[in-house]
Structure 1
Amino acid sequence: MRVQRPGVVDVVDETFVRAEPLTVRAALEEPGVLDRLWPGLQREVAQDRGAKGVRWWTRGEVTGRLEIWLEEVPGGTIVHHFIHGEQQSGRRGWEKRHRRRWKDGVHEIKDRLEGRRR
């Protein structure tokens, strides 16, 4: 009998946005944005770091930690995104789908804040 074990999830990403950290945070906190970026993850705030971002505990498809760190740099903000935990559902390809969904979403915010059209 083969026992299926949860897989380790470790996602790291960063994106430069030409906007202030609080502006980026406000865009990420618009209603429905985080739920659209992370479907299947229930979040509980572990640490609210204000203009520097938020750390969450997660449950659902991944049990572990999630963080958005907003690093102020000359000319804008680097949006660092981390997810680390155990995948509960055993669904293959979760990380790849998540990375694509995250990149699409953060670039949509980036384009809007930088005045670009898609």
Structure 2
Amino acid sequence: MSSIEVADQTFVAAPGTAVAEILSGTNNWRRWWPDLDLEVREDRADKGIRWTVTGALTGTMEVWLEPALDGVILHYFLHAEPKAPTRNPAAANRARRVAGKTMSFEIKARLEAGRAAGVAPAHTAPR
């Protein structure tokens, strides 16, 4: 078991391909996780991405995209050890959970922008 264990999920009313496009942007990675160096272990396209993590942490990270309703559930996982020992493991875990939520909420906000609550996303609207 790793010192840093994060598992979270967020529903995004958008297709997995749209979420994957944002996730594949390496410029986003540095903004979301500025102290981590990520190397793609497996790019699963509209199913997500897996990374090897180095830098402030050593371990693995994954975003798995599970089709659900009219979008996807964005599952975020991080399993890692801090490079330097931490005095407050709970605070370290919380900081990594917040970073994951920041990423998932940014993706959600970008892809759902302009959609009124209760209205089907544009990608599911009848043509």
TM range (shorter): 0.7 to 0.9
> Which residue is equivalent to 2:108?
110
What is the deviation of 1:67?
A: 0.6
TM-score (norm 2): 0.77
Give the gaps of 5 or more residues in structure 2: 116-127
What is the deviation of 1:98?
A: 2.0
Q: How does 1:85-96 map to 2 (within 5 A)?
A: 85-91=80-86, 92=88, 93-96=91-94
What is the deviation of 1:116?
A: 4.6
Q: Does 1:58 align with 2:56?
A: no
Q: Does 1:44 align with 2:42?
A: no
What is the deviation of 1:76?
A: 0.3
4+ aligned runs moved over 4 Å, structure 1:
none
Percent identity of equivalent pairs: 38
> Which residue is equivalent to 1:3?
none
> Which residue is equivalent to 2:99?
101
Change (3 A) 1:31 1:87: closer
Change (3 A) 1:50 1:60: same
- Is the deviation greater in 50-59 or in 83-92? 83-92
**Structure with greater strand share of residues:** 1
Whichever residue aligns with residue 60 of structure 1, its letter is G
TM-score (norm 1): 0.82
**Structure with greater helix share of residues:** 2
> Which residue is equivalent to 2:124?
none
Q: Does 1:68 align with 2:90?
A: no
Give the gaps of 5 or more residues in structure 1: 1-6
Q: Does 1:12 align with 2:7?
A: yes
Whichever residue aligns with residue 102 of structure 1, its letter is G
Aligned length in residues: 111
- Is the deviation greater in 96-105 or in 36-45? 96-105
What is the deviation of 1:74?
A: 1.7
What is the deviation of 1:102?
A: 2.2
